[in-house]
Amino acid sequence: ILPGVTCGYRGLFYPSARHSVRMCSTGVDRKGILANQVAVVTGSTSGFSIARRLAQDGTHVVISSREQQNVDRAMDELQREGLSVTGTVCHVEKAEDRERLVTKALEHCGAIDFLVCNAAVNPLVGSTLGTSEQIWDKILSVNLKSPALLLSQLLPYMEKRRGAVNLVSSIAAYIPQVELGVYNISKTALLGLTRTLALELAPKDIWVNCLVPGIIKTDFSKVIHENEAFWNSFSEHYQLQRIGKPEDCAGIVSFLCSPDASYITGENIVVAGFSCRL
């Protein structure tokens, strides 16, 4: 256990903690609604709003991304806020890194309840037909294949306690942007992956849903929100007259892991300020 971080039940597989909170679902104090549960979040060291919110709601969170220094910095910041967070390097394309992530979660927290697949890349701004085979492989590998492979490694542990999986797609799945080419396609395919996994995992009472963010202000979307042409047409396309904040997405992920969402699986939840083009 990390200094200053209490996991509380290291090495023990408690029966699903969800059952103990299921009774107090709607209309009650949500503080600690995810207490004593464990979440693994990929690509969670730059904005880390989802990791923070899950931890604020009581979850023990295992963060990860490609660079040790980024993992250390995010862990440090979240632990200073008194949150139960640990982390490790996990380049989601690498099987050994995914295995290390699983081991880390089990070592520190003894179980795994939730998986949030946040990591994604878009190495190219350009058309689909102008994309090299190498870039195709990279985008599909990180954005689409890795979530499924990581889940298959986590599943033996998640199914002991039931659980929730949250994939992260994009509004680009519904409203493709010409300059986002293969990225649009990877995010569209995630909608299909969500439904297929929901079907496969329903008998295990593991819920699989997909967050579909609109334009959210992060480094990832700089290429869009720092572009003047984008702002010229923004109010025409998005009805809430602002771009999203990472926190706008974090709460919905927490909700989808909570007992209040126990009859929701296979859904794509759009958090995008509404567009008539949807």
Tokens (6 digits) for 166: 């949250």
- Show contacts with ligand NAD in window 6-25 (CB under 6 A): none
- Show contacts with ligand NAD in window 234-273 (CB under 6 A): none
Shortest separation between residue 148's beta carbon and ligand NAD, angstroms: 14
Shortest separation between residue 27's beta carbon and ligand NAD, angstroms: 30
| Cβ-proximal residue to ligand NAD, closest one | 43
Q: Which of 221, 254, 258, 265 binds ligand NAD (CB under 6 A)?
A: 221
Distant-in-sequence contacts of 249-254, Cβ < 8 A, 24+ apart:
249/49, 249/50, 249/211, 249/213, 249/216, 250/49, 250/50, 250/52, 250/53, 250/54, 251/53, 252/211, 253/50, 253/53, 253/54, 253/116, 253/166, 253/211, 254/33, 254/34, 254/50, 254/53, 254/54, 254/57
- Show contacts with ligand NAD in window 75-94 (CB under 6 A): 90-93
d(CA 114, CA 253): 10
Shortest separation between residue 14's beta carbon and ligand NAD, angstroms: 29
Nearer to ligand NAD, 162 or 187 (CB): 187
Eight-class DSSP state of 216: B
- Show contacts with ligand NAD in window 32-71 (CB under 6 A): 42-43, 45-47, 65-66
d(CA 71, CA 91): 12
Is residue 9 part of the annotated active site? The answer reads no
* Active site members: 183
Give the footprint of ligand NAD on this chain (CB under 6 A).
Answer: 42-43, 45-47, 65-66, 90-93, 118-121, 142, 168, 170-171, 213, 215-216, 218-221
